[in-house]
Amino acid sequence: MQTQLKDDLEICDWFSLQFDESTDISDTAQLAVMVRMVFSDFTVKEELLKVLPIKGRTKGEDIYNLFKSYATSISMPLHKLSAITTDGAPAMMGSANGFIALCKKNESFPNFMSYHCIIHQEALCVKVLSFQHVMNVVIKIINSIRAKPLQHRLFKALLEDVDDKQSDLIFHTEVQWLSKGKVLACFLSLIEEIKEFLKSTYQNFEQLEDSSRLMDLAFLANITDKLNILNLELQGKEKHVAQMTGSVKSFKAKLNLWMSHMKMKSLIHFPCMKKMVCDSDFNPAPFVIHIQTLLEQFEKRFQ
């Protein structure tokens, strides 16, 4: 496979690279290098080119030296390089000693374009919706049920008795972008069973009886579900920049639509909130502000 990829790099007309650096369970930094090649007949091929372990520091200079050594070892035709996409970290995008800056200083690299990964920018936009007063309670309840084997078995037995479609609660994982939406959707679908179980085990969470907290929970579940749909639209092979920016522009238009409906107390786009309360019994102003803040983030990052 590596030989085939090397041959493809030799015969393609142009290629672009994408870099993603992450740390594995053994605390070793791994640099994943993805390649997209365009051939003379306009066919496109996307592959994982290499995963390079970084044993020491992960500064721009270290990443640059590691990649340069790998590119030299396979005789990579760098004169065909058209673009590099990264996650926007300082080590990658630093103006003086970042990976991109060092590549551009090297005469063996052509005048390529550099991009900040669109999916990563979408994930950063989501950070403005922290809602920690909601997530902290949800995570605490899930951990209290799932962390103790006896508690967990009793809860699963309760779900079997009520014949619920959901068989269990889901742990939250911060590093996975789709995790929050899935966890909240599962939690809301089981909220009555959770209340019943906590009551039977004499655990008191007043937040589950607070209507304003429940509305925040429902809003967060709905908006993260919509953000997850966008995230999935941006993923996958053979996606080009026009498709991806089109999805982002479409989402911004939807945010404007949802905001206008929210101002009129219409919850047609927020089914979880609609289940919590009647349209006339809540104050839409805080949720309008949250949607506006999210829209401003998208406008800023995708200008």
CA–CA distance, 183 with 139 (Å, rounded to integer): 9
Q: Which residues are bridge partners to 116 per DSSP? A: 86
Q: What is the DSSP letter of 236?
A: S
Q: CB count, 10 Å around CB of 19?
A: 20
Side-chain half-sphere CA neighbours of 279 within 13 A: 11
Reply yes or no on whether the pLDDT at 294 is more than 90.
Answer: yes
Question: So what's the pLDDT on residue 166?
Answer: 67
Please say whether the beta carbons of 208 and 198 come within 8 A. Answer: yes
90, 116, 142 - which closes a domain: 116
Reply yes or no on whether the pLDDT at 167 is more than 80.
Answer: no
Question: So what's the pLDDT on residue 51?
Answer: 93
Claim to verify: residue 89 and residue 154 sit in the same structural domain: no
3-state secondary structure of 164: coil
Range of the domain at 103: 2-116
Q: Which residues are bridge partners to 47 per DSSP? A: 35
Question: So what's the pLDDT on residue 45?
Answer: 92
Question: So what's the pLDDT on residue 28?
Answer: 84
Claim to verify: residue 155 and residue 278 sit in the same structural domain: yes
Claim to verify: residue 183 and residue 68 sit in the same structural domain: no
Look at the chain and report how many structural domains it folds into.
2
* Residues 194-211 pLDDT 10s: 888 888 888 878 888 888
Reply yes or no on whether the pLDDT at 183 is more than 60.
Answer: yes
Claim to verify: residue 148 and residue 277 sit in the same structural domain: yes
Identify which has the larger pLDDT, 222 or 241: 222
Claim to verify: residue 130 and residue 56 sit in the same structural domain: no
Highest mean pLDDT among 82-91, 135-144, 251-260, 273-282: 251-260
Claim to verify: residue 62 and residue 172 sit in the same structural domain: no
CA–CA distance, 218 with 130 (Å, rounded to integer): 14
pLDDT averaged over the chain? 88
Claim to verify: residue 102 and residue 145 sit in the same structural domain: no
Closest by Cα among 57, 86, 125 to 94: 86
CA–CA distance, 105 with 109 (Å, rounded to integer): 8
Claim to verify: residue 155 and residue 295 sit in the same structural domain: yes
Amino acid residing at 165 = K
Q: Which residues are bridge partners to 22 per DSSP? A: 30
CA–CA distance, 111 with 204 (Å, rounded to integer): 62
Name the phi and psi angles at 142, rounded to 5.
Answer: -60, -45
String of DSSP letters for 82-107 = EEEEE---HHHH-TTTSHHHHHHHST
Claim to verify: residue 266 and residue 220 sit in the same structural domain: yes
Strand 14-23 relative to strand 44-54, pairing: unpaired
CA–CA distance, 115 with 77 (Å, rounded to integer): 20
CA–CA distance, 252 with 23 (Å, rounded to integer): 33
84, 116, 148 - which closes a domain: 116
Share of the chain above pLDDT 70, in %: 98
Claim to verify: residue 92 and residue 142 sit in the same structural domain: no
116, 134, 166 - which closes a domain: 116
Please give the average per-residue pLDDT across 12-37, as a whole number. Answer: 89
Please say whether the beta carbons of 189 and 218 come within 8 A. Answer: no
Reply yes or no on whether the pLDDT at 300 is more than 60.
Answer: yes
Token readout for 290 is: 């949250």
* Residues 97-142 pLDDT 10s: 888 999 888 888 888 898 888 988 998 898 898 889 899 999 999 9
Please say whether the beta carbons of 180 and 224 come within 8 A. Answer: yes
Question: So what's the pLDDT on residue 147?
Answer: 84
Question: So what's the pLDDT on residue 163?
Answer: 63
Name the phi and psi angles at 16, rounded to 5.
Answer: -125, 155
Claim to verify: residue 236 and residue 271 sit in the same structural domain: yes
Claim to verify: residue 112 and residue 143 sit in the same structural domain: no
